[in-house]
Structure 1
Amino acid sequence: MVSFISESETDDQNHSITEEEDEFIEETIGERLWGLTDMFPEIVQNSISVIATFSMRGGKNVIWFTSKAIWITSTSFMMLVLPVMLEIERVTVEEQQLQQQRQILLGPNAAASGYGPSTQGLGALPSMPGPQPKS
C-alpha cells in the first residue's frame, strides 16, 4: 500500500514544527531552578538555603586558610631552609674545586689518596728534608 502525501500536508507539518520551535523559550538553569521552588515546602527551601550559605562560607574559609598556610610555609622555607641549602652547595662546589686543583697539581692519584693541602694542615706541601746544620 502506497500512500501519497500531498504538498499541503507536508507544509502543514513543517509549519507546526516551526511554530513549536518558536514557542520554545530559552531559560537559564537559575530561572528553571527558581521556577521549581514552588513545588517544595518552605522548610525544605529554608534548609537548602542554610546549607548553601554554610557551604559558601566554609569554602571561603578553606580558601583563606589554605592561602595563609601556603604563604607561611613558603616564606618560612625561604628564610630558614634556603640559606642552609645554598651554603651547603657552596661548600660542596669549593671542595670539588680543591680536589680538582690537587688532581692537576699532584697527579690523578693524589685526589684519591687524600694526600694534599687539606691533610697537611695549613695547606702547605710536605717539606723535604734538607741539609742539617752542623753542630
Structure 2
Amino acid sequence: MAAGEPMGMYTPGKITEIEDDEEFQDETLIERLYGLTEMFPESVRNASYSAAITSCKASKALYRFTRRSMWIGSTSLMILAAPIVFEQERFALEQQQLSQQRQMLLGPNAAMSGAFGMPQGPPGMAPPPPK
C-alpha cells in the first residue's frame, strides 16, 4: 500500500498480490489434524489419547458382557420355562379331550358339568365329599 492511499481502496495490482498470497497447498485431513495437535501441550494429547483408547476398550468389554449375558439368559429361560409351557399345553389338551368325550357320551350339557354331574375343582384336588 502506498503512503497516501486510504485503507479501503484497492487497485487492480493489489488484488493480484492478494490472490497470490492466498495460494495454499492441498492438505489431507490427516495432515491438518496432525498440524492442529501442535496447538496442545503433550500432556493434553496423551490424556486425550488414553481416554479414547480406554473408552474403546470399555465399549468392547460392555458389548462382550451384554452378548454373553443375553446368551446365558435366553438359554436358561428356554431350559427352565419351556417344560412348564409344554406341560400346561398338554394339560389343556387333555381337558379338551375329556370334555369332548363327555359331550359325545352324555350329551352337550354334560361337558359343562363335572364327571357324572359332580362339580370338579382345580386339577390335583379331589372333588368335594357328598353330603
Q: Does TM, normalized by the shorter one, top 0.5?
A: yes
Bigger Cα displacement from structure 2, 72-81 vs 34-43? 34-43
Match of 2:60 in 1: 60
The C-alpha deviation readout for 1:34-60, integer Å capped at 9, x for no partner, is: 332122111111111111111011111
Evaluate the alpha carbon distance shift between residue 106 and residue 61 of structure 1 in structure 2; reply closer, same or farther with a 3 A threshold.
same
How does the TM-score come out when normalised to structure 1?
0.60
Find the aligned partners of 1:118 and 1:26 in 2 and give their Cα distance: 93
Which amino acid in 1 is paired with 2:49?
A: S
Percent identity between the two aligned chains? 48
**One-letter code of the match for 2:99?**
Q
Q: Which residue of 2 aligns with 1:84?
A: 84
Query: Which residue number in structure 1 is paired with residue 124 of structure 2?
Result: none
May I ask how many residue pairs the two structures share in their alignment?
99
Displacement of 1:104: 2.5
**Could you say which residue in structure 1 is the equivalent of 2:127?**
none
In structure 2, what residue type is equivalent to 1:50? S
SS of the residue 1:71 aligns to: helix
Which residue in the other structure is 2:34 paired with? 34
Partner of 1:3: none
TM-score (norm. length: structure 2):
0.62
Q: Structure 2: 5+ residue runs without aligned partners?
A: 1-18, 120-131
Aligned to 1:131: none
Give 5+ residue unaligned stretches, structure 1: 1-15, 120-135
Task: Measure how far apart 1:96 and its partner are.
Answer: 1.2
Pairs within 5 Å for 1:97-112: 97-112=97-112
Residue identity in the other structure for 2:74: S
- Taking structure 1 as reference, are residues 90 and 27 closer, same or farther at Cα in structure 2, changes over 3 Å only? farther
The aligned runs of 1:1-135 (5 Å cut-off) are 25=26, 27-28=28-29, 30=30, 32-116=32-116
Q: Which has the higher helix share?
A: 1
> Structure 1 residues 98 and 39 mapped into 2: Cα distance closer, same or farther (>3 Å)?
same
Q: For 1:46 and 1:64, locate their aligned partners in 2 and report how far apart those are by CA, in whole Å.
A: 27
Write the distance in 2 (CA, Å) between the matches of 1:107 and 1:24: 98
CA distance in 1 between counterparts of 2:118 and 2:61 reads 57
